[in-house]
């Protein structure tokens, strides 16, 4: 009864295989590929145990999602693509239009709530974009911010200037070259935004806030963040697992309650 989970972001597709469709199931295998390489997905997945169920979130647009569906189709698989709900897995969504919240942001928050069921939490996701999303102690998503990720900030600076096309630098206290100035600038922009959101959430939730850091570029932020935090590589997967487990349980309840041969 394996579960295949898919997280299709704007830069990479991440996939994982859970041993069961149950909370706390073991993640048996996983990987990531650039969206340009999505045509290799069916080969990659063919080497994995055949899943009983596929669940995913996709925020990279209809064309990319259709390509992923075609790869799954080649294996006879169909994905249940989730969208943000008004309420699910113990989290309530305060977005003005709940379904317009990014499905990956929603899944990450469901994952966060599973990990931190009795405290306020802040999820920092560092991918193509950066999102900083706040969950109250009661499990209400009260709001969050979106800003450009490291790559997009650099791209904007490269495109809008003549002299900023330089190799990747590092984070230093007082940068003395262009590369370090750019990397440190990006890290401080993201960490500064995250710290401000943390201060706001903490003012509302004085009992404490757990900070969870996720996303492919999370390691770049780790040293600059300046907030005690937990790095959770697969927070989106954990939210998807929660949704799949609840759906399976609800389905079993329904079918077991039905008289045989009806
Ligand atoms: N092997 C890799 N290929 C591409 N990007 C990587 C890789 N490893 C880490 N990254 C970083 O991760 C970011 C993508 O993170 P990810 O969470 O997958 O984003 P998204 O969900 O938006 O696709 C890239 O912008 C890059 O900074
Ligand atoms: C904010 C995002 C672009 C983040 O995408 P990512 O960096 O994971 O590729 C994505 O969650 C999205 O398109 N959200 C829809 C708008 C919203 O959440 O308000
Ligand atoms: K993100």
Judged by its nearest atom, the ligand closest to the C-alpha of residue 125 is 3
**Does residue 163 belong to any structural domain of this protein?**
yes
Mean per-residue pLDDT for 213-224?
96
CA of 170 to the centre of ligand 1 (A): 17
- Taking the C-alpha atoms of residue 123 and residue 101, their distance in angstroms, rounded to an integer, is 14
User: Does residue 262 have a pLDDT over 60?
Assistant: no
**Does residue 137 belong to any structural domain of this protein?**
yes
The structure tokens listed for 189 are 């922009």
Write the residue with the smallest CA distance to atom 4 of ligand 2: 129
* pLDDT score at 254: 86
**Does residue 75 belong to any structural domain of this protein?**
yes
- Taking the C-alpha atoms of residue 238 and residue 25, their distance in angstroms, rounded to an integer, is 10
Shared-domain flag, residues 99 and 133: no
Look up the pTM and report it: 0.96
For residue 140, the domain's CATH number is: 3.30.420.40
Output the average pLDDT for the chain. 96
* Atom number in ligand 1 closest to CA 151: 25
**Does residue 255 belong to any structural domain of this protein?**
no
Shared-domain flag, residues 222 and 189: yes
Ligand 2 pocket (Cβ < 6 Å) reads: 9-10, 59, 100-102, 104-105, 127-129, 131, 146
* pLDDT score at 24: 96
| Residue 83 near residue 68, CB atoms below 8 Å | no
**Does residue 1 belong to any structural domain of this protein?**
yes
User: Does residue 261 have a pLDDT over 70?
Assistant: no
Judged by its nearest atom, the ligand closest to the C-alpha of residue 190 is 3
- Binding site for substrate, by residue number, is 95, 102-105, 178
Q: For residue 217, what are the domain limits?
A: 116-231
Ligand 1 in contact with 186 (CB < 6 A)?
no
Q: What percent of the chain lies above the pLDDT cut of 70?
A: 98
**Does residue 200 belong to any structural domain of this protein?**
yes
- Taking the C-alpha atoms of residue 56 and residue 14, their distance in angstroms, rounded to an integer, is 10
* pLDDT score at 256: 83
**Does residue 23 belong to any structural domain of this protein?**
yes
* pLDDT score at 52: 97
- Asked which of 58, 73, 108 is the last residue of a domain, the reply is 108
* pLDDT score at 260: 58
**Does residue 93 belong to any structural domain of this protein?**
yes
- Residues annotated as part of the active site: 104
Shared-domain flag, residues 64 and 15: yes
Domain count of the fold of the chain:
2
Shared-domain flag, residues 99 and 140: no
* pLDDT score at 255: 87
């Amino acid at each position: 009864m394996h579960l295949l989970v898919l997280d299709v972001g704007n830069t990479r597709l991440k996939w994982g295989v859970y041993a069961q469709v149950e909370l706390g199931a073991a993640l048996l295998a996983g990987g990531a590929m650039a969206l340009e390489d999505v045509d290799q997905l069916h080969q990659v997945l063919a080497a994995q145990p055949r899943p009983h169920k596929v669940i995913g979130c996709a925020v990279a647009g209809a064309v990319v999602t259709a390509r992923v569906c075609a790869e799954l189709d080649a294996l006879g698989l169909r994905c249940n693509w989730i969208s943000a709900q008004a309420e699910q897995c113990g989290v309530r969504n305060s977005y003005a239009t709940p379904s317009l919240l990014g499905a990956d942001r929603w899944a990450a928050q469901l994952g966060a709530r599973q990990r931190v069921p009795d405290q306020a939490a802040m999820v920092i996701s560092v991918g193509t974009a950066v999102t900083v999303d706040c969950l109250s102690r009661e499990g209400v998503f009260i709001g969050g911010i979106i800003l450009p990720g490291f790559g997009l900030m650099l791209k904007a600076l490269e495109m809008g200037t003549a002299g900023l096309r330089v190799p990747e630098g590092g984070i230093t206290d007082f940068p003395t070259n262009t590369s370090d100035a750019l990397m440190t600038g990006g890290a401080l922009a993201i960490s500064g935004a995250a710290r401000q959101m943390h201060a706001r959430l903490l003012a509302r939730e004085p009992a404490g806030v757990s900070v969870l850091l996720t996303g492919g570029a999370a390691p770049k932020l780790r040293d600059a963040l300046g907030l005690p935090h937990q790095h959770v590589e697969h927070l989106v997967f954990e939210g998807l697992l929660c949704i799949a487990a609840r759906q399976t349980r609800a389905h079993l309840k329904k079918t077991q309650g039905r008289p045989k041969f009806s």
